[in-house]
Amino acid sequence: MSFQSEIVQWYLKNKRDLPWRNTTDPYVIWLSEIILQQTRVEQGLPYFLKFLENFPTVAHFAAASEERVLKLWQGLGYYSRGRNMLHTAKYVMDEFGGTFPTSYQHLVKLKGVGSYTAAAISSFSSNERQAVVDGNVYRVLARYFGVEEPINSPKGQKLFAGLAQELIQDQQPSVYNQAMMEFGALHCKPKLPLCATCPIQAGCYAYKHQKVALLPLKLKAVKARKRWFNYFVGITDDEILAKQRKPGDVWQQLYDFPLIEMSQECAVDDAALLAKVKEMFGNAVALKVLESRKHALTHQTIYVQFFAIDNYIVNFNEHAEIKSVKITAFKQLPHPKIIGDFIEKHID
């Protein structure tokens, strides 16, 4: 039995029952694929169901506000995905009359849809013969065929794409692509792969040459940038100080608290921090540390301190980015996860 046949047979016996596998609707598949980018199925599934409930069609999605989309997205990370989805939904309504495209050539031009996602949607919705190559597929191909070119190098990506496209030629694309991804996710796992019960063990290069733990190869990532955020929580009666983050930085357009970013960790009595705090909130301001957290993102690590402030005065003309809003209204706005978690824990 061929490599492809073994993978498909394994899939038919072991596949998970996931809701987006029970449809050929390209809109629903698009929802699932974008939500699952950089996200485990277990984490993404509730978001998928929530989005589908709120936006059952692309027309419903296109009619939504950005704040509504980002609020539903809260906690999932990589918020640009939510913004891109809203842009794409509107584009589909304008350019395709509300009919979500199924061809790779149209899909790959949509905002937030790259070659992988376009291949997934086109193959799952219309059986277009486009090979999907995600992290799971890279791993299976690298180990079985002994490909030692880094998966994140231009040469490696071209090589893997060519190999994947060659292997799909005589297969049913919708089934074969799902099979490859599922096999990598459940069986040929990054750590502790199930080699002892692997149906393709006999032909696996990595297994034969004791390289399972070494493949696939990947170029080292750039060292993560470190940042120190100091948030100031000011509450008077039923209002709280808030601001919307600007474009061009992490969590753009989401809502958080007044912030002073420093080049290193600061204690509550740090002179440089206090000078900035008094400039923002007046000389009589009093500080109290509420909580410290570390928030790891793909390319940066953010060390966060939350301070309660009292006896503060804000010159809203000088600091126009800061607003005083009703706490109930603030809770309904989209926040970065670290802010949402803080609100849930500390603000009634």
Which residues are part of the catalytic machinery? Answer: 33
Please tell me the number of Cα atoms within 13 Å of 74 on its side-chain side. Answer: 22
CA distances from 178 to 14, 108, 172, 197, 296 (A): 12, 19, 10, 20, 30
Q: Do the Cβ atoms of 177 and 119 come closer than 8 Å?
A: yes
Tell me the one-letter amino acid at 207: Y
Cis peptide, bond prior to residue 216, ω within 30 of zero: yes
Integer Cα distance of 89 and 97 in angstroms:
11
Distance of CA 101 to the CA centre of its chain: 23
Q: Which two tokens stand for residue 102?
A: 């199924």
Beta bridge partners of 304: 229, 293
Q: Do the Cβ atoms of 162 and 226 come closer than 8 Å?
A: no
Sheet bearing 225-233, strands edge to edge:
259-262, 225-233, 300-310, 286-296
Buried b (16+ CB within 10 A) or exposed e, 194-222: eeeebbbeeebbbbeeebbeebbbeeeee
